[in-house]
Structure 1
Amino acid sequence: MEEREVDPSLRGAMSLISVLGPIVSVEEADGYNPEGERCLSYVITVRPRVPVDLAGLREALERAGFYAAFSMRKRSRLLRICLWPVRGVG
């Protein structure tokens, strides 16, 4: 199986996220950012081992150049993080 090159800005965001616990998966998708512009988005699934400060994580990811949205299903230990690149940052 051939591994694709990871976008350097995404690599920085993934290093922030990996502090929470192991990254289970990373998916790319076409989508729309919160400003309504079409762009490439990333969905990262992580299994947190520590309590997560979502507000702090969102701020750190924005400094790294990404908008972030979070979701977690009831009774699930997996946190899904959707990232969209912020234009002109990163």
Structure 2
Amino acid sequence: MTDKEKAKAYWKENIRYVLMLMFIWFIVSFGAGILFKDSLNAFKIGGFKLGFWFAQQGSMYVFVILIFIYVRLMNKLDKKYGYDA
């Protein structure tokens, strides 16, 4: 595999990871905070309705967790394609 093909495959896989993680964040922030709010409000966390909690704080927590997942995935991807230094 040439360097150009390797770089192209690397970025294709990287973009796939980014799209998957952004889709998860969209589902959590928009879906749980807005679309499924009424269903989630039947449950409570710390005295707050779950739909409200996701809209106010849950999506931020999930975003931070997704950052750590992305870092781990990218470290594995760097090793796979030989870009780790």
Q: TM-score range by the shorter chain?
A: 0.3 to 0.5
**TM-score, structure 2 normalization:** 0.32
Name the structure where strand makes up a greater proportion of residues.
1
Q: TM-score, normalised by structure 1?
A: 0.31
Determine which structure has more spread, i.e. the larger CA radius of gyration.
2
